[in-house]
Copies of this chain bind each other. A is one copy, B any other.
Amino acid sequence: MQMADSIVDIERTSRLLRNGDRKSLARAITLAESARGEDRESAARLMDALHSMGSRQSLRIGLTGPPGTGKSTFVDCFGSWLTERGKKIAVLAIDPSSSRTGGSILGDKTRMEQLAQNSNAFVRPSPTRNASGGISHRTRESVYLCEQAGFDIVFIETAGVGQSETSVSEMSDIFVLLLPPAAGDELQGVKRGIMEYADLVLVTKADGDLKRAAGRTRSEYASALHFFSRKRHDPPGRPKVFEISSHQKTGLDIVWEELVALETWRKDNGAWHIVRRRQAIQWLEAAIHESLLEEILGHTEARQLLIETEQKIQRGKIMPAGAALEALRSIRSRWKPVNEY
């Protein structure tokens, strides 16, 4: 049946996307990321159509680490290595700057030179712009769309700043923490609390002058992580810590083996399915909460009101409780329940 849609031909786009058409995928992601209600509606209908064709599952790999660790270089290198082994790779690069600069597609593409020119790879920046400044639920939609386009692996790369890591771990099957070789024995720049979300820790730049430091860093983290409880259902000795070199392409085979081992273990004991279902509920909740807050607080006037209120609080002039009530009164005067429940 040919379905008509005011903006997008859902049936045609879903069929093309399912067959791996990159233009359809790019367009679908643009719809999902759009601020316009009718675009979001089309994106949702498209996902429903794809779901009715039988949802595909990729391996979703979240990546984080402090700035300068070499995350993009690693994705470029590891992604290319995987395509050489017959895998199709999608990369969603979450760039906190993209909401300010109006997108940094070029920036991200040039950061991943090899992948950008690879016909088995798809690289796309994903904006961060929910009401709390974190990563939006829309990134989940992009991940899902990449899966349905037939990519075997979807990388979700986060810049390692802001509140994005927890969200990325909630939309990943496996969450990888990348760390540079440490100069001393204290880890610089890793946000507190991230270490323990990791399913796998990679020490980058294990080549040349830094090879020795990388080895030392690896063994230090291996012994530190030993004390933390592993994720429920995971095999013993996790998370593992490896050292890799993107320049020399060393360690990539071991990383891939570990990713497959974790995937297999979790699928065999049911944990994979449980986590995916929990993530679907988190997706629903995030979509509802973020959409409501965006609708109510996303307008220029409301934003301005909040900024002014924050400044007054910063100067110690007013208390947050009263300030919140006053702001809510002003916001509510524009919104009103049609019927009380």
Residue ranges of A at the interface with B (Cβ–Cβ < 8 Å): 32, 40-41, 43-45, 47-48, 51, 131-132, 137, 140-141, 144, 185-190, 192-197, 220-221, 223-224, 226-231, 277, 280-281, 283-285, 287-289, 291-293, 296-297, 299-302, 306, 309-310, 313-314, 318-325, 327-328, 331, 333-339, 341
What are 27 sample pairs from A and B whose C-beta atoms fall under 8 A apart? Answer: A43-B321, A44-B319, A44-B321, A48-B319, A48-B322, A140-B321, A186-B226, A186-B227, A187-B228, A192-B196, A192-B229, A192-B231, A223-B224, A224-B224, A224-B227, A281-B310, A283-B321, A284-B310, A284-B327, A288-B297, A288-B324, A288-B327, A288-B331, A291-B328, A334-B337, A335-B335, A335-B338
Q: How many protomers of this protein does the assembly include?
A: 2
Complex contact B328–A292 (CB within 8 A): yes
A41 / chain B contacts, CB cutoff of 8 Å: 325
A333 CB to closest chain B CB (Å) equals 7
Q: B residues within 8 A CB of A301?
A: 341
Q: Do residues B187 and A319 form an inter-chain contact, with CB atoms below 8 A? A: no
Secondary structure dominating the interface of A: helix
A280 in contact with B314 (CB, 8 Å) = yes
Given the interface contacts A45-B322, A47-B321, A280-B320, does A193 sit within 8 Å of B185 by beta carbon?
no
Output the least CB separation between A73 and chain B (Å).
23
A324 touches B291 (CB 8 A): yes
Nearest neighbor of A296 in chain B, beta-carbon distance: B292
B229 near A321: Cβ-Cβ < 8 Å:
no
Given A48-B318, A284-B313, A309-B284, A192-B197 contact (CB < 8 Å): yes
Which residues of the partner chain B approach A137 to less than 8 Å between Cβ atoms?
Answer: 324
Q: Which residue of B lies closest to A187 (CB)?
A: B229
A281 and B313 within 8 A (CB)? yes
Residues of B within 8 A of A331 (CB): 288, 292
Task: Report the separation of the CA atoms of residues A258 and B130 in the bound assembly, to the nearest whole angstrom.
Answer: 39
- Within 8 Å CB of A223, what residues of B? 223-224, 227
Instruction: Assess whether B51 is in contact with A320, with CB atoms less than 8 Å apart.
Output: no
A277 to B43, CA, bound (A): 40
Of A140, A186, A223, A321, most buried by chain B (CB within 10 Å of CB) is: A321
Contacts of A283 in B (CB 8 A): 320-321, 324
**Which chain B residues lie closer than 8 Å to A45 at the CB level?**
322
Q: Which residues of B lie under 8 Å from residue A309 when comparing CB positions?
A: 284
In the bound complex, CA of A194 to CA of B192 (Å): 9
Report the Cα distance A135→B210, complex, angstroms. Answer: 45
